[in-house]
Structure 1
């Protein structure tokens, strides 16, 4: 043990109020993470004056001290060993213990998506730019278009792989098993769900007990991958507790993949598909409601459905509208909600004081303005909760306006800023476009600006 390491550890312990003030301790690759009984006892200036400490901050209930790679492991070992093993080192369980069920679920979902956010931001920007170019009728060389399609669709096509990998880490399983299970869900041998919806291919059909059971791929879906990761992690943990060490290397991964993989493809996926079909039938009923109520409901819930990953089912609804009428009112009802999510993330970024977080939150809002809301939702709005709800309110108001104006797009799959090109067919349609999106932006922006403080939320004072 290095003398300096002991001095750093002792200095941190003294500045946070002593060992008795520590509820739990953990660490990541660079930061010592602590939950404390009394945050008021922390002397932040004393912490920053300790040689070797590169910074400190509160993140919700967690107090984090930045030490850097290597050093953080050594200091953690000292702090965790100061009370002869009496210190709680399960900091994640300690954090979750004091949370309500909705906040716990939101936190788990956020923790799963945070590692995935950077690639979704990058891919979302690619997708937005390419969609914008295509919407203006710019002809691209087929080879260039192929490369562009790879850039903009890979992360979302293989989203279940990313979710299963991150979910397995979050639930305490082996990440590599999550990767394999995610790849199974998007295996090209399974029919693409979008193609099934469009009627270009047929689902794989089984007939157990005389029932029709359809199986498809789950490209772009979130819910099946989350459930599969949870089942796999629980299965792996259960097996490790009973399988002898000499057999663990073979039996545990084999059984985990067999159980979770089959359940994912044959049970979890089809059940989610059934739920999706129910959502589609409900959407048709809702759109037909009088006095703009359909737009109010769809505009206020569509981005919540995005969280589940089941929003691709609406492709069938949009396809039907375009095929029979040439217009797509569904787009007009939900596009303002996309801008509302983008605005909520942007305003949160503008209000937060931490420069690094400000840049992260504002960067997450950019793809949303181009129609890709996952980075804004999972990286910012859903993490805090209140901005997400405010954005849903903005979406509801925008959707109601769209329904009352009888607004409609002439396309599908493109919304928010790039979607303006699908409203260029008439002067009134363009006016409707700006009204709808303006309402979503104003309502979401004002609610987030006046009724949410991300700095206090980070400290757990409002969102705790």
Structure 2
């Protein structure tokens, strides 16, 4: 029997046997099991299985953390035990039926924005690289100044850095239609209509160079370049409208009538009602966000850095994706990322302290890779496998996050992108801030590490916790 087959069999036995397993799927780091009766799960037995780094319930799924690579091998062996397997997306659809209305709403919100994030990450990296290349010190190495850079090169970099934000409403409307049961291509076209070159450009209007078009003498109509909320609301209403129309149109005419009526009604509604109204709401949200982030004496850094990982545990942190997207679209910078990355790094620092201080070989084998995972921007193994399990390391991580966030706020760090943190996040600060970025991460890690080492963990406390568990 192979090592991974043994893990698979022990795992299925610990979750209540094959009859208690509805389906199994996996993501990059976790095995996701939907069970029929959660009371039959033996949590202690699962956490004692080799290579398991933690396990918890979230979004209607029992999620067992194995880490990249390992989870694929375990999943193959579990599938070989005649357990029904699903793709992660199929299982997510099943899981969506569970949980409170608020949890389901947050999941849908995340489902809309998460697929957009990779292109915004890439755009942020392009911005960071352009910022590095255009620094006088870098140009001087090649005997150049900013005036020596060709216009064609500048144009090329603008294509890389501006395209995703110019057409952001199209991406948002496409993804919203997809999640809310509409036809994605209709959503895409609706989003493109919102940034049509026939409309006054939003940035030109904001700069005072162009006047909006006024319908009925009082409704301002502009393009919605780099806007998020109007496209999101239009996508929800449009997807539901399409489904209503489709139910009432004869099948023979569906191909023609449904998209025609959906786009006709929605572009009118979007430009005349949804756009003007929710653009004001969006601007209000941005104003509040920037006000909080600009609070003096590092207050915002302390609050956000200290509370971020508490929010991550609840699973509602995806709601902040929209705020980061709005910050980047409006200001081409993201001060939120620098603070959050300290919260992530600090949990890694707390876990590293546990790994170095404990004499338990099993805990060391769990904590070292979990700390590394946190330093690469993924805190779940550290949170659920180590810090939350023993309590105090998590609290020390929160304090470290607040300390790092405080420094990041004082230094006014601003990322060129989003969604990547700690070591990979360095690429978002190549615009002359990389040393400050490293400094705030070191502060977060050092504070969390020192506090955990001195006050947050001991093998004696570990035994007491495990006896209670």
- Taking structure 2 as the reference length, the TM-score comes to 0.56
> Are positions 1:151 and 2:150 aligned together?
no
Q: How many Å apart are 1:125 and its aligned residue?
A: 0.7
| Residue 76 to residue 251, structure 1, CA distance change in 2 (3 Å) | farther
Q: How many Å apart are 1:151 and its aligned residue?
A: 1.7
The aligned counterpart of 1:307 is: 323
> Are positions 1:141 and 2:157 aligned together?
no
Q: How many Å apart are 1:355 and its aligned residue?
A: 7.8
User: Does the 8 A contact of 1:299 with 1:396 survive in 2?
Assistant: yes
Q: How many Å apart are 1:232 and its aligned residue?
A: 1.9
Which has the larger displacement, 354-363 or 275-284? Answer: 354-363
User: Does the 8 A contact of 2:342 with 2:444 survive in 1?
Assistant: no
The aligned counterpart of 1:262 is: 268
Cα deviations by residue, 1:197-218 (Å, 9 ceiling, x for unpaired): 22222222223xx5x2222222
> Are positions 1:251 and 2:257 aligned together?
yes
> Are positions 1:173 and 2:182 aligned together?
yes
1:311 and 1:172 map into 2 onto residues whose CA distance is 28
1:142 and 1:123 map into 2 onto residues whose CA distance is 20
The aligned counterpart of 2:280 is: 274
Q: 187, 199, 203: which one pairs with 1:194?
A: 203
1:15 and 1:188 map into 2 onto residues whose CA distance is 59
2:209 and 2:181 map into 1 onto residues whose CA distance is 40
> Are positions 1:222 and 2:222 aligned together?
no
| Residue 447 to residue 93, structure 1, CA distance change in 2 (3 Å) | farther
| Residue 142 to residue 255, structure 1, CA distance change in 2 (3 Å) | same
Which has the larger displacement, 168-177 or 350-359? Answer: 350-359
| Residue 29 to residue 396, structure 1, CA distance change in 2 (3 Å) | closer
Q: How many Å apart are 1:177 and its aligned residue?
A: 1.6
The aligned counterpart of 2:121 is: 121
Q: How many Å apart are 1:288 and its aligned residue?
A: 10
User: Does the 8 A contact of 2:399 with 2:448 survive in 1?
Assistant: no
User: Does the 8 A contact of 1:341 with 1:444 survive in 2?
Assistant: no
1:130 and 1:16 map into 2 onto residues whose CA distance is 51
Gaps of 5+ in 2: 1-9, 65-70, 137-144, 305-318, 352-365, 380-396, 418-426, 453-469
Q: How many Å apart are 1:152 and its aligned residue?
A: 2.1
| Residue 419 to residue 155, structure 1, CA distance change in 2 (3 Å) | same
Cα deviations by residue, 1:52-98 (Å, 9 ceiling, x for unpaired): xxxxx988425599699xxx999999789xxxxxxxx8853544532
| Residue 397 to residue 360, structure 1, CA distance change in 2 (3 Å) | closer
User: Does the 8 A contact of 1:123 with 1:151 survive in 2?
Assistant: yes
User: Does the 8 A contact of 1:236 with 1:253 survive in 2?
Assistant: yes
SS at match of 1:35: strand
SS at match of 1:97: coil
The aligned counterpart of 1:343 is: 342
Q: How many Å apart are 1:128 and its aligned residue?
A: 1.0
1:194 and 1:306 map into 2 onto residues whose CA distance is 20
2:116 and 2:330 map into 1 onto residues whose CA distance is 24
SS at match of 1:191: coil
The aligned counterpart of 1:362 is: 376
Q: How many Å apart are 1:181 and its aligned residue?
A: 1.8
2:254 and 2:83 map into 1 onto residues whose CA distance is 28
1:444 and 1:347 map into 2 onto residues whose CA distance is 5
The aligned counterpart of 2:41 is: 40
2:446 and 2:167 map into 1 onto residues whose CA distance is 32
| Residue 338 to residue 33, structure 1, CA distance change in 2 (3 Å) | closer
Gaps of 5+ in 1: 1-10, 49-56, 81-88, 319-330, 366-386, 422-432, 452-464
Q: How many Å apart are 1:270 and its aligned residue?
A: 1.2
| Residue 311 to residue 263, structure 1, CA distance change in 2 (3 Å) | farther
2:26 and 2:257 map into 1 onto residues whose CA distance is 30
| Residue 73 to residue 296, structure 1, CA distance change in 2 (3 Å) | same
- Taking structure 1 as the reference length, the TM-score comes to 0.57
1:284 and 1:117 map into 2 onto residues whose CA distance is 21
Q: How many Å apart are 1:126 and its aligned residue?
A: 0.8
SS at match of 2:220: strand
| Residue 196 to residue 77, structure 1, CA distance change in 2 (3 Å) | farther
- The count of residues paired between Structure 1 and Structure 2 equals 362
2:324 and 2:220 map into 1 onto residues whose CA distance is 20
User: Does the 8 A contact of 1:163 with 1:225 survive in 2?
Assistant: yes
Q: How many Å apart are 1:130 and its aligned residue?
A: 0.6
User: Does the 8 A contact of 1:340 with 1:440 survive in 2?
Assistant: no
SS at match of 2:170: helix
User: Does the 8 A contact of 1:119 with 1:155 survive in 2?
Assistant: yes
1:346 and 1:279 map into 2 onto residues whose CA distance is 28
User: Does the 8 A contact of 1:205 with 1:213 survive in 2?
Assistant: yes
1:73 and 1:308 map into 2 onto residues whose CA distance is 38
> Are positions 1:204 and 2:213 aligned together?
yes
Cα deviations by residue, 1:31-65 (Å, 9 ceiling, x for unpaired): 996421327269989x99xxxxxxxx988425599
Alignment of 1:71-82 (within 5 A): none
